[in-house]
Amino acid sequence: MIKQPVGTMCISKLYSIEDCKLIELPKITDPRGNLSFIEGGIHIPFDIKRVYYLYDVPGGSDRGSHAHKNLHQFIVAMSGSFDVVLDDGYEKRRYHLNRSYYGLYVSPMMWRDLDNFSSGSVCMVLASTNYNEADYIHNYDHFVAAAQENRTTHK
């Protein structure tokens, strides 16, 4: 994949909110309890390099509030529920996650906010790369400028 420089960032390609989507996972039903599974590159459009999860999020708290330049993620509500608000610099969409057999694919260059956590919720995130602080964009204005420059560069 050819990477295009965007300001001081290196963005792999043009992404929009249309690239993000809810994905239904395989569900094997059984009276003893259901089973779902995720295989990187098969059920989700990337290989899994890292898994992390959020839990014990206090009521009224938000998580996220950043974007990634090149990281792909898949977000699953393992227990309880929460909302994910995605923003590509032009459009915003809110997704309510509350089933462990559905997940949200999040492409690079999406600002994400997680909120509305229910009591006891667990948010699992599968990531395409190992942790890399240099991949984060923490300032929303910088993100919007990079997203707009990226869109201009890829026209």
The H-or-E segment that residue 143 falls in is: helix 140-153
Residue 35 to residues 26, 48, 53, 105: CA-CA distances in angstroms? 8, 19, 19, 20
Mean pLDDT, residues 88-101 taken together: 96
* From 43, 66, 68, 72, active-site residue: 66
In the predicted model, is pLDDT for residue 69 greater than 50?
Answer: yes
Q: Do residues 57 and 50 make contact, with C-beta atoms less than 8 angstroms apart?
A: no
Which H or E run contains 86?
strand 82-87
pLDDT digits (tens, 9 = 90+) for 102-154: 999 999 999 999 999 999 999 999 999 999 999 999 999 999 999 988 776 65
pLDDT of residue 154: 59
Is 142 catalytic? The answer is no
User: Mind listing the pLDDT tens digit for each residue in 12-65?
Assistant: 578 899 999 999 999 999 999 999 999 999 999 999 999 999 999 998 889 999
- Note the pLDDT of residue 60: 85
Domain 19-146 has CATH 1.20.120.420: no
> Distance between alpha carbon 88 and the CA centroid of its chain, in Å?
12
pTM, rounded to two decimals: 0.88
